[in-house]
Structure 1
Amino acid sequence: MVTGQPGPCIGNIVGIPRLNFSGLCLQDGPASLRIANYASSFPSGVTIASSWDKKMLYERGLAMGREFKGKGAHVALAPVAGPLGRSAYCGLNWEGFSPDPYLTGIAMQESVLGLQDAGVQATAKHFILNEQEILRNAFSFPNGSVQYEAISSNVDDRTLREITEGPINQDIFEFGTLAVGGGSGAAQFSYLISPLQAIKERALETGAIVEAWLNNTYVSQVTETAITGAGGILLANTPDVCLVFLKGWASEGVDRETLDLDWSANEVVEAVAGACNNTVVITHSSGINDLPWADHPNVTAILVAHYPGQESGNSIVDVLYGDVNPSGHLPYTIAFNGSDYNSPVVTSINTTGSDDWQSYFTERLEIDYRFLTPKILMFAMNLADGQITSHAEELETQPGGNPALWEVIYTANVVVYNTGDVRGNVVPQLYVSFPSSTPAGTPLRQLRGFEKVELTSGQRASVDFELMRRDLSYWDINSQQWLIPEGEFTLHVGLSSRDLHGSTIAGRIERAQRLLLLDETMKVRNFV
């Protein structure tokens, strides 16, 4: 009914004049209006998620929605909750937001509100378990008979409920930049500001000299003398800073074979950093990458830019020159090695049967930081005066889900304080550790709140985190109910899952109440 009708849109529902129905136009995609001239290319999902800024997520959705409506679309095929990012190798992760279901859920909520406030209907996609690109459709012989059926995603009930259902749910290249990935979220650029263009324009204002080299193979093989310019082979001047721009392409329809960046990227960084003691690396990629040079003493900064969209160069220069104090956070975890991740896109295939392509979600709830966080990690000091015991609480299942799950039943509070001399933004994050009575496989702690706050030097701010029943519940596979488990909940606050500044124990909550999470302020310096 939708995709089978010819028309100017990705999906077309033809009009019915006798019903005074003029039809509907459904258009891709999650980062831009794909089939249109003079359309904007917005930052990708993983890029905007790195802001951890609810207002910015909403404003991106609103601006996209206004453009979709202005171009005649009624339905925007956006935003993207799946792939969630279960596997770092999935080729389409860049369209989504984060492997954390809470962060993705907030990003979906703000994006949908923005799109629909602009007057277009949002479409939360892709529904569930769309965590790999390989063999997502059946593969057939030329005669039409099926050689391989589409891959089967096999997941247990609790993981489906808590992880996958929670959030829902033109190849463009230029030397020196990669501003969008491949897939339904991509669009032809009406214009693109490359980093090199933006740097040259800024250099004209400051009187700086810019020397650029666009041959990775050559740079990765030259000697230290050549790079520093002592022999006048590569650079005519000894640089004050060396900017290394790296690219990693990813696209719908194919998964990544490696987490390395493209075009001899690691060798380029090693060669440049071996000669330049102020090497800044900027990466354009779909998400997680191996960064074996991250601890090189001459690599002074790493800017993870992802796919920034048409204003790529200007946005990067604003950060490099200090016009904007960087305040983003990775929406995923970068491990030391690709082998540290526990979620391959497919399970090993040993035979050639038509039904052999399988993906078993054996990691269950433990993806990304939920798995990578060391089990013996010591938490920050416990500031609670005593322990409060709670009892299991059942919420009756209703059609469409129990509305009580979305009631705020607990409010935690933290005070943040800028001890530095630079204005900036801080994102305090709230993590919850469930009681020991929760079934085996429950992650050590789970994100349940975040807020972005701007602070001047010396300024304090109070931040509230509202916890809903759903935030303190788990899916019980036996009763098929959301349950609040019996025991003690521990709340942790910090700047990431590993940078915790304080914790306290909370018990069963009889009514909505307020808890001062920290007895002293969380001090943050310079936000860099």
Structure 2
Amino acid sequence: MSSHSFSPFSLVLLLSLSSCATSVDVPAGYVSSPYYPAPHGGWSPDWTESYRKASLLVSNMTLAEKTNVTSGTGIYMGRCVGNSGSAPRAGFPQLCLQDGPLGVRNSDHNTAFPAGITVGATFDKDLMHARGVAIGEEFRGKGVNVHLGPSVGPLGRRPRGGRNWEGFGADPVLQAFGGSRTVEGIQSVGVIATIKHLIANEQEKYRMYNLAQDGISSNLDDRTLHELYLWPFAEAVRSGVGSVMMAYNAVNGSACSQNSYLINNLLKDELGFQGFVMSDWLAQITGVASALSGLDMTMPGDIHTIPLFGSSYWMYEYSRSVLNGSIPVDRLNDAVTRIVATWFQMGQDSASYPKPNFDSNTLDAEGPLFPGSLFSPKGVVNEFVDVQGNHAVVARDIARDAITLLKNTNDILPLAKTAKLKVFGTDAEKNPDGINSCTDMGCDKGTLGMGWGSGSARYPYVDSPIDGFKSRGANYTFFNTDSFPSNSVPTAGDIAVVFVNADSGENYITVENNPGDRTDSNLNLWHNGDKLIQDVAAKYTDVVVIVHTVGPILLEAWHDLPAVKAVLFAHLPGQEAGESLMQIIFGDVSPSGHLPYTIPKSEDNYPDSLDLIGFELGQPQDTFTEGLYIDYRHFHKANITPRYAFGHGLSYTTFSFSKATITPVTTLTTLPPARAAKGSTMVYSTAIPAAAEAYWPANFPNRIWRYLYSWLEKADADNAAADLKAGKTYPYPTGYSNAQTAGPAAGGAQGGNPALFDVAYTISVTVTNTGKATGRAVAQLYVQYPTDLAVDTPVIQLRDFVKTSALAAGASEVVKLRVTRKDMSVWDTVKQNWVVPSVDGDYGIWVGAASDALALRCGTAAKTCAEGVKSPV
């Protein structure tokens, strides 16, 4: 808030939005408890030197310079989607923050990589990392400081959720490996990665706070939060991620951007996060409350209601709030130090780190420097730097190795190079209006390579399936229509290849009546895809269906038709849709993708709590009554056989898993060993600075209209200081304190207590190619808790996976998997710690090709392994 003087309305608004308040509509038992103060960063040894360097800069900053660093300069007020303030006198530059998870958004000469869901389908940790490196190189090449990705939230709880495709799959461990390997790759080249969105933003509609309605409240219990939704964030923090973005929604009634339980307790204390926390764009809804709750940076800086007039909750208001004593100097110093230390941690203080050389607002070489202002100066804004390198190779490898063969009757695939093909469906060819004709991919025309929204990127080109057929010299006839053409006459030996898709995206764009989430299409194919397949299957005896999709779809209308011989999910391949598919369907490479989610037979297979939330008076309430039971966990508990199980994926060959051994590594105890104490943190003066530190500088050049500045008019700064002197007090939220604490028992290092990641058991398995073609197998490891536990646990849960090299027929490879202490623990809501519920119990360690293809079991009690065992599901 701007000062200690409040109108009755503003005071009520402040209290209703405070970080410990919960809506009256939140069901009983779902509470977001207050947690103060925001823990200081810098106590982790991995960050000591970066914090030391940062403290030297921060100690030299004025109040206005510090508050400037914490905020964006306004929407469309610079080249990047987010542009922070700077402190050039102290040696700290403006930071460029840019979308998105699959490539540089709104740029040129960049790669449009396969989406996260496609990467998850590879089940390949090396490719996850390689893509991260390539993405990092492109963002660095464009001069971006902060990459706004990867995404591990939403987790994919709701099958129709609009942004599920940005993440890696509907399992926390698959998401965790995808997220952490991507973070490590991005940051290996000096770009700050941002893990997002914390947390439980599982649908698009009603996600945002606005003048008419509070953002949707995701109501979930502490155990579910830890064991599912927080799990991938913990792994990203353990990998040293530099930034975390908060979600738009509320959790248990408290907005994520100012939820002290989430930011201060879970993220900064329990997970030991050392970087900085930012809001999503226009997700910040208060000033003081968000600062106290641990928010370090607000983006793009404007207020969330009507971001048109240069108004901000921070910037000049942050300066005012420090001068009048509302926000402790200590909190501001820590926020700034976290931002500056992350910059040092990635080596961005190097003179070789490039400046932004593109403009996300235009593809023109010259334009306004501040497009959000009516009176902006103009200049060169785009230097057309080509950052693609050889990244198309990585993109193509991912697109190919993600392709998931679901059905292959009579081994119709691979196709003979001379096969006579009839190709159907507009998804087979590029958008006829132009590959980048729809803003942020906000349409479904042509080959679906990515969903829509801020997670998209412009294509440098699209290698479509039709391009692939052409390059192969295939014998094909293409019917570029989604209705069965009357001029398609089957002839002997024809094989029909049908391309269909299902799309989704972010809520600010509605495509074919789907406002982000798949509300109109449900889990059906778009463009009457079901009917197209049925009509083709009625005329042709051999049909191959190729699906580009954001997530699960229903196959029942056509899957079992006698003519439908093969079904391939190519997911979202980005720019490399063509050759990647050709390598699979013509047999250059055996398919090795596996489903990163379950495919149901009906939407009724899911619990009602996974339905999208519709309009509600007041704050919409989304209560996670299913708890731990999402995706395959639910199907197993409900004893429902899906159409295809999580992890399913066929090959042109077959594999066996044998000769397994289990080796104890760490002796387990019920509770992990006590955490280490926090290291020392930076010490600054806590004295409130003089009002003069926030005065507008003398002879300041022309102010840009709508640009956000951190300075105050002299009278405003003096009045704020006078309020402090007069003893006016701020109504701090319940539970507020400014005394630093030792931190929770579950903490102790980045990612949590390091003992959680101790390896409890290693499992060695021999994977043998028992078929006739070369191929790669995925060994998936699932843990089954002892069956006599008092605590409820899912039947099996994915805990590790490894992909073999390409094995020739008859060849074998020994793979190593591991199970950690955390993998065998549950979150105890009373002890507030991870607990091994049965130290001496018999945990089943299952290894196989999918969640429903497990026949090899190792037992922790006998420490032996057996093959040919009946699957637990």
Please give the TM-score of this superposition, normalised by the length of structure 1.
0.86
CA distance in 2, matches of 1:263, 1:108: 33
Is 1:278 equivalent to 2:546 in the alignment? no
Summarize deviations over 1:229-277 as a string: whole Å, max 9, x none.
xxxx324855621110002120111211200010111011111112212
Q: Secondary structure at the match of 1:425?
A: coil
Amino acid at match of 1:393: T
1:473 to 791, 814, 825: 825
Q: Which residue of 2 aligns with 1:185?
A: 455
CA contact (8 A) 2:827 2:835 kept: yes
2:477 to 200, 211, 218: 211
CA distance in 2, matches of 1:460, 1:516: 21
Structure 2 vs 1, CA of residues 306 and 3 (structure 1 numbering), >3 Å: closer, same or farther?
A: farther
Q: Secondary structure at the match of 1:424?
A: coil
CA distance in 1, matches of 2:99, 2:612: 31
1:425 to 757, 767, 776: 776
Structure 2 vs 1, CA of residues 250 and 375 (structure 1 numbering), >3 Å: closer, same or farther?
A: closer
Q: Secondary structure at the match of 1:393?
A: coil
CA distance in 2, matches of 1:377, 1:300: 25
Structure 2 vs 1, CA of residues 375 and 419 (structure 1 numbering), >3 Å: closer, same or farther?
A: same
1:322 to 564, 580, 587: 587
Is 1:312 equivalent to 2:577 in the alignment? yes
Q: What aligned pairs does 1:11-22 form with structure 2 within 5 A after superposition?
A: 11-22=82-93
- What is the aligned residue count? 485
CA contact (8 A) 2:609 2:625 kept: no
2:226 to 145, 148, 161: 161
CA distance in 2, matches of 1:347, 1:428: 34
Unpaired runs of 5+ residues, structure 1, are 141-145, 227-232, 509-514, 522-528
CA distance in 2, matches of 1:18, 1:150: 39
CA contact (8 A) 2:80 2:96 kept: yes
1:4 to 73, 84, 91: 73
Q: Which residue of 2 aligns with 1:363?
A: 626
Amino acid at match of 1:86: R
Shift of 1:214: 2.1
CA distance in 2, matches of 1:47, 1:439: 38
Shift of 1:172: 6.2
Shift of 1:479: 1.2
Amino acid at match of 1:256: R
CA contact (8 A) 1:175 1:214 kept: no
Summarize deviations over 1:364-396 as a string: whole Å, max 9, x none.
111111111266699x99x999xxxx9961124
Structure 2 vs 1, CA of residues 347 and 324 (structure 1 numbering), >3 Å: closer, same or farther?
A: closer
CA distance in 2, matches of 1:353, 1:93: 26
CA contact (8 A) 1:133 1:252 kept: yes
CA distance in 1, matches of 2:639, 2:585: 37
CA contact (8 A) 2:668 2:760 kept: no
Identify, as 1 or 2, the structure richer in strand. Answer: 1
Structure 2 vs 1, CA of residues 171 and 377 (structure 1 numbering), >3 Å: closer, same or farther?
A: closer
Q: Which residue of 1 aligns with 2:215?
A: 150
CA contact (8 A) 1:176 1:245 kept: no
Structure 2 vs 1, CA of residues 343 and 457 (structure 1 numbering), >3 Å: closer, same or farther?
A: farther
CA contact (8 A) 1:44 1:94 kept: yes
Amino acid at match of 1:181: G
CA contact (8 A) 1:90 1:255 kept: yes
Unpaired runs of 5+ residues, structure 2, are 1-69, 237-439, 508-515, 642-656, 675-744
Q: Which residue of 2 aligns with 1:408?
A: 759
Q: Which residue of 2 aligns with 1:507?
A: 861
1:450 to 792, 796, 801: 801
CA contact (8 A) 1:132 1:345 kept: no
Q: Secondary structure at the match of 1:274?
A: helix
Structure 2 vs 1, CA of residues 520 and 463 (structure 1 numbering), >3 Å: closer, same or farther?
A: farther
Please give the TM-score of this superposition, normalised by the length of structure 2.
0.53
Of structures 1 and 2, the larger Rg is shown by: 2
CA distance in 2, matches of 1:493, 1:393: 25
CA contact (8 A) 2:462 2:577 kept: yes
CA contact (8 A) 1:90 1:345 kept: no
Amino acid at match of 1:68: F
CA contact (8 A) 1:76 1:122 kept: yes
Shift of 1:21: 1.6
Identify, as 1 or 2, the structure richer in helix. Answer: 2
CA distance in 1, matches of 2:787, 2:669: 12
CA distance in 2, matches of 1:313, 1:57: 21
Structure 2 vs 1, CA of residues 153 and 377 (structure 1 numbering), >3 Å: closer, same or farther?
A: closer
Shift of 1:353: 2.6
1:248 to 488, 502, 509: 502
Q: Which residue of 1 aligns with 2:471?
A: 201
Q: Which residue of 1 aligns with 2:252?
A: none
Q: Which residue of 2 aligns with 1:394?
A: 671
Amino acid at match of 2:494: D
Q: Secondary structure at the match of 2:478?
A: coil
Shift of 1:11: 1.5
Shift of 1:348: 6.2
Q: Secondary structure at the match of 1:428?
A: strand
Amino acid at match of 1:436: T
Q: Which residue of 2 aligns with 1:261?
A: 525
CA contact (8 A) 2:770 2:809 kept: yes
Is 1:52 equivalent to 2:123 in the alignment? yes
CA contact (8 A) 1:2 1:11 kept: no
Q: Which residue of 2 aligns with 1:463?
A: 815
CA distance in 2, matches of 1:152, 1:435: 35
CA distance in 2, matches of 1:439, 1:152: 31
CA distance in 2, matches of 1:236, 1:391: 65
Shift of 1:200: 2.2
Shift of 1:288: 0.6
